[in-house]
């Protein structure tokens, strides 16, 4: 593992809102371009579990540092405030 090879700092990227991507908008036939809630709900659940796992790894491996980067929230901010970017 990376840890056994002395890697100690990790950034773990969560999933972005895939329910807003062109593929899923097309596949689920989004009429007004609205994001697919069912897909994004699953992504949020996954990211929640990933954040919990990262917290547990930080407790278990005291000399390592794991950081969770929430791509969902970052992407959501960009989509909601696109005029600022």
Is position 3 within any domain?
Answer: no
In this model, does residue 10 exceed pLDDT 90?
yes
Is position 69 within any domain?
Answer: yes
Q: What's the pLDDT at 82?
A: 85
Global confidence as pTM: 0.84
- Residue 76: domain span: 9-84
Is position 2 within any domain?
Answer: no
Q: What's the average model confidence in pLDDT over 48-72?
A: 97
Is position 39 within any domain?
Answer: yes
The count of structural domains within the chain is 1
Is position 17 within any domain?
Answer: yes
Is position 1 within any domain?
Answer: no
Is position 48 within any domain?
Answer: yes
Please write down the HEC assignment for all residues of the chain: CCCCCCCCEEEEECCCCHHHCHHHHHHCCCCCCCCCHHHHHHHHHHHHHHHHHHHHHHHHCCCCEEEEECHHHHHHHHHHCHHHC
Q: What's the pLDDT at 24?
A: 97
């Amino acid at each position: 593992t990376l840890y056994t090879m002395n890697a100690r700092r990790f950034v773990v990227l969560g999933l972005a809102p895939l329910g807003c991507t062109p593929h899923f908008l097309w596949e689920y036939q989004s009429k007004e371009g609205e994001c697919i809630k069912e897909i994004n709900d699953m992504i949020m659940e996954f990211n929640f579990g990933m954040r919990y796992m990262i917290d547990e790894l930080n407790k278990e491996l005291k000399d390592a540092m794991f950081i969770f980067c929430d791509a969902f929230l970052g992407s959501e901010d960009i989509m909601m405030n696109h005029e600022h970017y």
